[in-house]
Copies of this chain bind each other. A is one copy, B any other.
Amino acid sequence: MSYGKKKMHLNLFLRNTGHHEASWRHPGSDPNGVTDIDYYIKLAKIAEAGKLDSLFLADSYGLPPTMQFLVQQALEPFTLLSALAIATSRIGLIGTASTTYYEPFHVARKFNSLDHISRGRAGFNIVTSTGNATAFNFGAAPLPEHTDRYERAGEFMEVAKGLWDSWEEDAIVADKEQGLYVDPEKLHEINHVGRHFHVKGPLNLPRSPQGHPVLVQAGASDTGREFASRMAEAVFTAQNTLEDGRSFYADVKGRMAKYGRSPAQIKILPGFCPVIGDTSAEAKEKERELNELTQPEYGVYRLSNLLKMDLRGYPLDGPLPFAELAENHEINSQKARHQLYLELAQRENLTIRQLILRTATSRGHYSMSGTPIEIADEMERWIVQGAADGFNLMPPYFPSGLEEFVDKVIPELQNRGLFRTDYEGTTLREHYGLERPERSSSRQSVISAQ
């Protein structure tokens, strides 16, 4: 055992039958269970038994036209996480909400409420949405441009933070004798007037156990990285090589100083998808079996969508049309993922089919197959070499891909002093080693007297 090592943080990225696109066809998966709360409670309890920092839920507000190929419906994050708050006691609960398709009052209140209900375990994964499947459920207009979405996100978060700070910590007096419930001097309007929002405040809930939810973000573009370094407390990112991971890590942490923040105030957590076997060969075989369950028709759709180019006319066993793809310079939130795919295909000289299979496991996130020792080795390398503060764990299939990780990899990480053997705190901030934010009182006025 070695003590004093930097410990890693681990989220469980919950996603229906698993992160491999064919996971629902895996013999152990339950594709009918994905709207069954007991299924998620079971997974959450396994993750909590493994002492993971948090559960992590992505989300979107539309269905792609490929429902025949895989599970894509999802229970709504606030309702799901609040249910899981009751079924667990320590693990964090990170939910996703879009700043493009929500009002800040609703989102601020829901996370505040979840933070009260879970006694300080809420996290807010801030997204700006992608794709018109979502946009057209909220109006006739297509998805706004990337920069417009981020501009709105910035204003949204200003409002949300104002609302979270609209009650002073000791605003509730509850003096039964005197009949004074709240000290009205300690409740504040925010009177926000901006380009996108006009919000008076205060919030109709007092400040929550964590002050506000842990702010999580996953932007990969330059704008996204800037937003993260200014605002985020945890960053979920797709990095395919240790080198890319180190470069991203240094870049984001390097941007923080100009906002008066220290590098420790952001935890960088690349996605990580382990296919675990007792031998390397067994792990490889598991991966091969999963890939055999993929459907090329869906793979071509997914790749076309990501690369913004219809690839249906190209031979599956030929190379990507790099020349045509190079003409596509559209800026959008998936730009970095787009580049990551192209770099991967070029670096390893992959055919279209091979690229599809390489990215079927976790949609471009880092995946590896190996023994528990090999997987722990790789995770340690990323931590020690400054590419990660931890990982967003993306098991290829549930529940066994998670059970194997908790049963076999977690003890190995614990033996190396790289992961906690028990929770030391009760809030997500405490698990991450993040401070509870001080209340900011800028731009606030006392609530109007009657």
- Measured CB to CB, the residues of A under 8 A from B are 24-25, 27, 31-32, 35-37, 41, 60-63, 65-76, 78-80, 82-83, 85-87, 101-103, 105-106, 109-110, 112-114, 116-117, 119, 133, 136-140, 172, 174, 176, 179-184, 187, 193, 197-206, 293, 295, 301, 447-450
Contact among B27, B200, B203 for A136, CB-based, below 8 A: B200
A203 to B61, CA, bound (A): 8
Residue in B199, B204, B447 whose CB lies within 8 Å of A60: B204
Partner of A449, one of B65, B74, B75: B65
5 nearest A-B residue pairs (beta carbon): A76-B113, A86-B86, A136-B200, A67-B182, A82-B82
A82 CB contacts on chain B under 8 angstroms: 78-80, 82-83
**Which of B25, B60, B71, B206 interacts with A179 by CB under 8 Å?**
B25
- Contact yes or no, A174 B32, CB < 8 A: yes
B138 touching A63 by the CB < 8 A rule? no
Q: How far is the CB of A108 from chain B (nearest CB, A)?
A: 10
Given contacts A82-B79, A113-B76, contact A31 B61 (CB under 8 A): no
Shortest A296–chain B CB gap in Å is 11
Q: Which residues of B contact A116 (CB under 8 A)?
A: 35-37, 75
Which chain B residues border A203 with CB–CB below 8 Å?
63
Measured CB to CB, the nearest residue on chain B to A310 is B450
Question: Which residues on B sit within 8 Å (CB–CB) of A76?
Answer: 78, 109-110, 112-113, 205
Contact of A74 among B68, B117, B187, B204 (CB under 8 A): B204
- Given A35-B205, A65-B448, A447-B65, the answer on whether A198 and B79 have CB atoms closer than 8 Å is no
* Contact A86-B37, Cβ < 8 Å, known A73-B205, A205-B75: yes
- Least CB distance from A20 to B in Å reads 14
Given the known interface contacts A86-B86, A103-B138, the answer about A181 and B71 at a Cβ–Cβ threshold of 8 Å is yes
Are A74's CB and B205's CB within 8 A? yes
Least CB distance from A19 to B in Å reads 16
Q: Are A79 and B137 in contact (CB under 8 A)?
A: no
21 inter-chain pairs at a CB distance below 8 angstroms, sorted by A residue, are A24-B174, A31-B174, A31-B176, A32-B174, A35-B116, A37-B116, A63-B202, A65-B184, A65-B449, A67-B184, A68-B181, A73-B204, A73-B205, A74-B204, A76-B113, A83-B85, A83-B86, A83-B117, A133-B200, A137-B201, A139-B198
In the complex, the answer to whether B70 meets A181 with C-beta atoms within 8 Å is yes
